């Protein structure tokens, strides 16, 4: 357990940094809960409209049979989850599903394939999917595993907006979850995608048996990249029968909110996505996550192979909370979403009543 002693507040909480240390990050995570939420909400309002949430939709374009052994994943060929492998989905079907997603309010369409890395024979179809979704006026995201330099060039030239490649957890805990791909290989893929000029989507999974220190270390890794990921998905583990983590104890909801808040403070201009696991979250827990700085969700009934709340439940929740979906023209890279009033609220809040909490060095 981390020592929950207050960390002093500085006046530059909303500044973008790439020099986070583990001790100061651990001190932030361990703040009294209300203080942590206050700081995260203040940072959030300095850069975003707190009542707008970006909507993405995710489609599995190739399911099951993955040679990786990720302990949380039902698609691994190493596990007895009962999921059957499928071939790459037809281009036309992907575009039909993307059209439905756009009609449902999604501004970004994410396509995932259960591969260690794509095969050359499949890339023509993948490129056609990217171009087709782009032609609909949606942002595009792909998650295909590791990429060759040729793959990266082709995806970039096709206009892919985001590439998702999660680091999953801390470097220390990583080998307890995955043995077929190294932590360094994940970072290398992210670096080469970034170098090519594509935006990065990278986050992790909470509730896999990791410690609070592992959550801190994972976020330090992401926040100290040369550029912050534009999108940071924070997943709550869905314990799937037949996987090594099927009996993992559920994470304390307060600890999950702490992780969201920490991600918001450390990566102030990134979209922090409340990702997998929302079917297990109460409306109250999701509301706390939005207050702590989550401003992106996956919509639709499924996430790759697991359930998602669905459009009706999300619409009802947004109505209750006074939240609206973010339009696509408002999702540009590194936006300042202060809209004047929110910036003023954040500045006055930072100046009032919090001088006793300063971040430790």
**Residues catalogued as catalytic:** 66, 70, 73, 110, 141, 201, 273
Longest Cα–Cα distance of the chain, Å, equals: 60
Contacts for 103 with CB less than 8 Å, ≥ 6 apart: none
Give me the helix-helix angle, 120-135 and 91-103, nearest 10°. Answer: 30
Residue 160 dihedral angles phi and psi, to the nearest 5°? -60, 130
HSE (side-chain half, CA atoms, 13 Å) at 1: 5
Helices (H) and strands (E) in the chain, counts: 12, 12
Q: Per the structure block, which two tokens stand in for 57?
A: 């939709």
Residue 73 dihedral angles phi and psi, to the nearest 5°? -105, 130
DSSP string covering 155-223:
HHHHT--EEE---BS-HHHHTTT-SSS-HHHHHHHHHHHHHHT-EEE--EEE-SS--HHHHHHHHHHHH
Say how far apart CA 110 and CA 271 lie, in whole Å: 15
Burial class (CB in 10 A: 0-12, 13-18, 19+), 233: buried
* First-to-final CA distance of the chain: 20
Beta bridge partners of 110: 58, 141
């Amino acid at each position: 357990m981390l020592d929950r002693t207050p960390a002093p507040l500085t006046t530059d909480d909303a500044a973008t940094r790439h020099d986070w240390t583990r001790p100061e990050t651990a001190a932030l995570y361990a703040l009294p809960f209300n203080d942590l939420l206050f700081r995260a909400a203040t940072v959030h309002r300095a850069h975003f409209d707190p009542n707008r949430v970006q909507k993405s939709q995710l489609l599995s374009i190739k399911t099951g049979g993955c040679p990786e052994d990720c302990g949380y994943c039902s698609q691994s060929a190493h596990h007895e989850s009962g999921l059957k492998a499928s071939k790459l989905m037809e281009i036309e079907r992907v575009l039909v599903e993307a059209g439905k997603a756009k009609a449902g309010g999604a501004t970004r369409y994410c396509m995932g394939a259960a591969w260690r890395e794509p095969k050359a024979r499949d890339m023509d179809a993948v490129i056609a999917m990217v171009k087709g979704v782009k032609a609909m006026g949606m942002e595009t995201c792909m998650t295909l595993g590791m990429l060759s330099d040729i793959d990266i060039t082709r995806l970039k030239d096709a206009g892919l907006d985001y590439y998702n490649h999660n680091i999953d957890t801390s470097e220390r805990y990583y080998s307890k979850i995955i043995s077929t791909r190294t932590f360094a290989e994940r970072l290398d893929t992210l670096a080469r995608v970034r170098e090519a000029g594509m935006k990065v989507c990278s986050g992790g999974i909470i509730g896999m048996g990791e410690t609070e220190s592992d959550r801190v270390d994972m976020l330090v890794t992401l926040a100290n990249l040369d550029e912050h990921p534009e999108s940071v998905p924070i997943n709550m583990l869905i314990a799937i029968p037949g996987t090594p983590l099927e009996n993992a104890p559920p994470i304390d909801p307060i600890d999950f909110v702490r992780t969201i808040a920490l991600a918001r403070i450390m990566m102030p201009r990134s979209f922090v996505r409340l990702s997998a696991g929302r079917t297990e979250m109460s409306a109250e827990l999701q509301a706390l996550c939005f207050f702590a700085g989550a401003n992106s969700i996956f919509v639709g009934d499924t996430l790759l192979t697991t359930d998602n709340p669905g459009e009706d439940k999300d619409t009802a929740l947004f109505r209750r909370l006074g939240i609206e979906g973010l339009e696509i023209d408002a999702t540009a890279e590194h936006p300042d979403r202060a809209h004047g009033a929110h910036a003023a609220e954040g500045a006055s809040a930072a100046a009032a009543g919090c001088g006793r909490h300063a971040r430790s060095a």
